[in-house]
Amino acid sequence: MNTKGFSALLFGIALVCGGGAPAAQAQTVPAACYQAPVRADCAGPLLDRLLDRINQEEKADRGQLTIALADKLINNGSLDSALRVVLEIDQTPVKEAKLAVLGVMRANVREYAKARDIADLIGDPQSKRAVLGAIVNRFVLDGEVEPALLLVKEVGDDYLSDDFQAGLVRLFAIDERFSLAWENAKEIGDTGVRNNAYFGLALAQIRSQPLADVQRSLMAIDDPAALARDFATVGMQAYHLKKAAEADRLFEQAMTALEALEVTHESDTDALRRNIAFSLETSGKLGAALKVAQGINLIDQRLTVLGRLATTLATQGDTEQARDVFQNNLAATAEFTDPAQRAYAMRQQAELMMTAGLAEDALAVADRIEDFSLQDAAETRLAVGRVALMADKYDLAEQIIDGIKADDRLRLLGLSWIAFNSAVDGDSERANRLADSVQMNLEMDEVDYLAEIVRELVEVHLRLGQFDRAKALVGWVEDADARFAMLARLGDAAARGGKDALARESLEKRLDLIAADAFDNGYARIGVTAQSLPASQTPEDILALSTRLKSPGMEWLFLNVAAITLAERERLADAQKLVKLADDPDLSAEFELPELAALLIQSLKLE
């Protein structure tokens, strides 16, 4: 039986069904270190024992466990212990990636000697460069240019030198020492790094320097596409700084660069046009943005961008021009030969119309779609209604969605969305009214969307604190996967709401589904269920729950994951008691790994 999917737990679940090797006696760990609260001086012996225990496992498990332990220690900030574990990893690429993480962390807190020592352990040039670059960047950010320069010269790496120079450009630009920034940018060898440095310099210059200086920095960019994009971005910055004349000129140069790129390179500029159009939109230049967007080649992308711009026009009060853009977009959907693609494009425009506040226009689109697809028209009404709902226009959303005629299931689904949102917003009257209406209309013998609708209704009742009604609805769902998910949600909400009996009942029903072989991946679901144990469950309760699984292997797995989960929740004493109550030597042996890890983390927190 394969249980490798549970490695997201502490790290011991990788072994829960693998058998593993027999545990040796933990002679190196004082007995007092197995009791909480753990002393700080227990960290060393516990780590020794844990590594020794991991090394007894089979090679595949050993590697996985070592990596998981390293990650746990890194996340805990226990860098010395983490380094020791990382050095035990036998997969070189993984080891060096972890070393790079540790080195960068050391550099970021100015522990430069330790960071250099870690860099010396790394053979991969890119990973080593990441650590050395972090040291250099930290020096530069602190204004310590000389030690950064000495390190760069010592290492003699071109990429590191470029990063150093780029860092100086940023530093000098922040200090408005633009001449020095310019000179350092020229020293960068890599084209991409140099271009980014010039762009950053221009962004800084636009705040206080003459436009000519900004233009000089931008014109130094050696990439036609980046040049056009960056002119537009700096133009947008100028607009926000209320430098209208500079913004106009920069946008003109962006368009000149774009047109030159399209003529000389014949490359796909759709992404660039989208970027420039949105920069223009943000700068209030909607006419120019529309013109740029019209040049997008792919029709679906063109219509999306134009629709967004039309929405902006409408929200700014120019509804007539917005309508013109939308109507032109709808006419352009005739280019789609596939009816489904055309309906989707029209539905997207209808959603944007609703976003723009043009409700009647949006519904008119749904009517047009009815000419060739009743189902697509119903889906369009549902989508438009959802836009209204997201805008908190509840009455309008209800009117639109309740008007769906071609597909009653879609109508009920949409109404269940409104009920849920109403419950979230505290409108219990509307939530109850719609939930009751939907529930009355549901027909048990028609299963289309049933699980999805019931899930929404369950959420409504949980939001309103109506746990019994939510529980009753879960029983309507025949699909085992959907029922399992709803039982999990019910159990979680019940536990949070102090309904301990219902939380346990939900867990019992999930275990019963697993025991009845309702799933192909029953063992995986055991792990998920054990991880969701309500906080109120005692070791005795958990032991009793395990007996519902009717299979020794399943019971063993449930108890193992439950014990690990308790340890992960810092309920180590309960985890130890559960293992003792189970009275299973194999379980005790397997639990030693997560037990040691939990004790180690507690001890390290006291250092």
pLDDT per residue over 354-388, tens digit each? 999 999 999 999 999 988 888 999 999 999 999 99
pTM of structure: 0.81
pLDDT at 3: 36
Structure tokens at 568: 């992960």
Q: Tell me, rounded to whole angstroms, the distance of Cα 145 from its chain centroid.
A: 37
Single-letter amino acid, residue 234: V
Q: Using 50, 70 and 90 to split pLDDT, how confident is the model at 5?
A: very low
Please tell me the number of Cα atoms within 13 Å of 144 on its side-chain side: 13
pLDDT per residue over 326-362, tens digit each? 999 999 999 999 999 999 999 999 999 999 999 999 9
Of all helices (H) and strands (E), which one includes residue 66? helix 59-76
Neighbours of 47 (CB within 10 A): 23
Single-letter amino acid, residue 428: S
Mean pLDDT, to the nearest integer, of 250-260?
93
pLDDT at 607: 62
DSSP 130-181: HHHHHHHHHHHHTT-HHHHHHHHHHHT-HHHHHHHHHHHHHHHHHTT-HHHH
Q: Using 50, 70 and 90 to split pLDDT, how confident is the model at 520?
A: confident
The pLDDT mean for the chain works out to 90
Mean pLDDT, to the nearest integer, of 3-13?
37
pLDDT at 436: 94
3-state helix vs strand vs coil in the chain, percent to 5 = 75, 0, 25
Place of tokens 């060898």: 189
Mean pLDDT, to the nearest integer, of 515-543?
91
Helices (H) then strands (E): counts for the chain: 32, 0
pLDDT at 25: 46
DSSP 465-505: T-HHHHHHHHTT---HHHHHHHHHHHHHHHHHTT-HHHHHH
pLDDT at 20: 43
% pLDDT > 70, the chain = 93
pLDDT at 450: 80
pLDDT at 280: 95
For CA atoms 257, 261, 262, 267, give the dihedral sign: negative
User: 37 preceded by cis ω (within 30°)?
Assistant: yes
Q: Please give the torsion angle defined by the CA atoms of residues 214, 218, 220 and 225, in that order, rounded to the nearest 10 degrees.
A: -170
Mean pLDDT, to the nearest integer, of 213-228?
96
Structure tokens at 450: 């049933």
pLDDT at 420 over 70: yes
pLDDT at 128 over 90: yes
Mean pLDDT, to the nearest integer, of 1-14?
36
Mean pLDDT, to the nearest integer, of 275-283?
94
Structure tokens at 367: 């009517």
Mean pLDDT, to the nearest integer, of 145-171?
91
For CA atoms 31, 32, 38, 43, give the dihedral sign: negative
pLDDT per residue over 437-482, tens digit each? 999 988 654 546 688 899 999 999 999 999 999 999 998 888 899 9
